[in-house]
Amino acid sequence: MATKKKMEKILLVDDDPGVLATLTEVLSDAGYRTHTATDGAEAVAELDKQFFDVVVTDLNMPGMDGMGVLKHLQKHSQDTQCLVLTGFGSIRNSVEAIKMGAFDYITKPVKFDELLHSVSTAIKFKRLERENTILKKQLKKKYRFENFVGDSPQIQRVFELIEKVADTDSTVLITGESGTGKELIARAIHYNSPRRDDPMVIINCGAIPEELLESELFGHEKGAFTGAHKTRIGRFEVANGGTIFLDEIGDMSPNLQVKLLRVIQEQAFERIGSTRTMHVDIRILAATNKDLMEAVEKKEFREDLYYRLNVIPIEVPPLRDRKSDIPLLIDFFINKLAAEKERPVKRISQAAMNALMGHHWPGNVRELENVVERVLILSSGDTIDKEDLPATILGLDSKEPEAGLKLPSGGIRFDHAVEEYEKNLIVQALEEANWVKTQAAKLLHINRTTLVEKMKRKNIRGPN
């Protein structure tokens, strides 16, 4: 059966015709498209004509040698991977080639499985590198200032602050209710900062138990505690050179608060079970939906840590305090979600818009996005009408259902209303129980597993 042709092109460079013939046969049989050159000058001329994914070149050739080919690649075609061929007596030259940017070296006589493995690995590495570059560009584009939605004075002040602090290394504390977009703001700060090409590491301090959070943040050595079967690198090490975003910082235990304070002050820490001090260069961003000053007064949060974090405070206003942004956000979400869900873009009636403008929005922008997604998918026709909105928006979410439910004059979609009412009860129970599922299930008199299944089916997610 014929081998399926691959898209990757490989340039083989060697002054030995026998070696070229053998390498061509092996790589062609593996499905690669191959071209050959008998010396460095011929290889450079070929590289100037067309792009190659990989160059496999001998190091020792008359005239321009393999190092000359490598230098040309580094200057003119950095997207091309280079593998060098060398004899056992020239390993030192191969090491120098690696230092100059060669991906790998292969010793002669060439082992075919080693050659195929090195070529495949080089191609995969470059593909991942390209994908990572594309992803970074997409993230930078996504979090540019002009992509933020809202023209109310309250949100414009937030945008101005982001722009001012992005170029600095100052610690920023972002406060606001759940769903207001605190993580979005943290990402905007990072991707508009000088650290944009380095990692941004996000960790939710409220979602991880204390005994695990310390290891997540600082890492641990093998054998440091029961179950530590291997050394683990912590998030602070991963974020070195970049930014770490500590979400829900108000939920961090006093013990970890002390260790975090030291990292902020000294940019240093030790892995669990180690005496070796690790030094890092990171920027710290933090966020919380709690009143940390009140927590300080109650001795629940360290005062010195609070002032270290609160160098530059950014308070994100709730959606109900910037209702003039709601139409802009709805238009943004309709277009964004229609593209993502492959649905037609719909207009929204004035009656529906009035109902949305009159809602209190306890879940803020996240709640608004969820509502837009729901009605975009479930509504019929090309217009979203008031009757398409969830029961929570239409005022059918009273905690006493017998007294609060009323049939609209134009009727209502029964299944839709029941579905929304059930979802609203679940959300109310979760909020009452601070999103502790076991307690919420007790309030609803259902099993926890039933609650979890309903949350999955109804796409109910906890606060960030």
CATH number at residue 178: 3.40.50.300
> Within a domain: residue 143?
no
Q: Which of 327, 362, 389 is the last residue of a domain?
A: 389
The answer to whether residues 410 and 431 belong to one domain is yes
**What are the tens digits of pLDDT across the range 45-84?**
999 888 899 999 998 888 898 999 999 998 888 889 999 9
> Within a domain: residue 3?
no
Rounded CA-CA distance 253/46 in Å is 62
The answer to whether residues 288 and 340 belong to one domain is no
CATH number at residue 418: 1.10.10.60
Cβ pair 116, 90 in contact under 8 A: no
Averaged pLDDT for residues 266-282: 92
The answer to whether residues 310 and 181 belong to one domain is yes
CATH number at residue 362: 1.10.8.60
Q: Which of 389, 415, 442 is the last residue of a domain?
A: 389
Percent of the chain with pLDDT over 90: 55
The answer to whether residues 306 and 331 belong to one domain is no
3-state DSSP of the chain: CCCCCCCCEEEEECCCHHHHHHHHHHHHHCCCEEEEECCHHHHHHHHHHCCCCEEEEECCCCCCCHHHHHHHHHHHCCCCEEEEEECHHHHHHHHHHHHHCCCEEEECCCCHHHHHHHHHHHHHHHHHHHHHHHHHHHHHHHCCHHHCCCCCHHHHHHHHHHHHHHCCCCCEEEECCCCCCHHHHHHHHHHCCCCCCCCEEEEECCCCCHHHHHHHHHEECCCCCCCCCCCEECHHHHCCCCEEEEECHHHCCHHHHHHHHHHHHHCEEECECCCCEEECCCEEEEEECCCHHHHHHCCCCCHHHHHHHCCEEEECCCHHHCHHHHHHHHHHHHHHHHHHCCCCCCEECHHHHHHHHHCCCCCHHHHHHHHHHHHHHHCCCCEECHHHCCCCCCCCCCCCHHHHCCCCCCCCCHHHHHHHHHHHHHHHHHHHCCCCHHHHHHHHCCCHHHHHHHHHHCCCCCCC
Phi, psi angle pair for 185, to nearest 5°? -70, -40
**What are the tens digits of pLDDT across the range 317-330?**
999 999 999 999 99
Domain count, the chain: 4
pLDDT of residue 399 exceeding 60, the answer is no
The parent domain of residue 114 ranges over 9-137
The answer to whether residues 154 and 297 belong to one domain is yes
> Within a domain: residue 1?
no
The answer to whether residues 422 and 353 belong to one domain is no
Rounded CA-CA distance 308/88 in Å is 57
> Within a domain: residue 300?
yes
> Within a domain: residue 210?
yes
**What are the tens digits of pLDDT across the range 102-112?**
998 888 888 99
Instruction: Output the pLDDT for position 151.
Output: 87
The answer to whether residues 232 and 344 belong to one domain is no
Whole-model pTM: value is 0.60
The answer to whether residues 252 and 263 belong to one domain is yes
CATH number at residue 42: 3.40.50.2300
> Within a domain: residue 144?
no
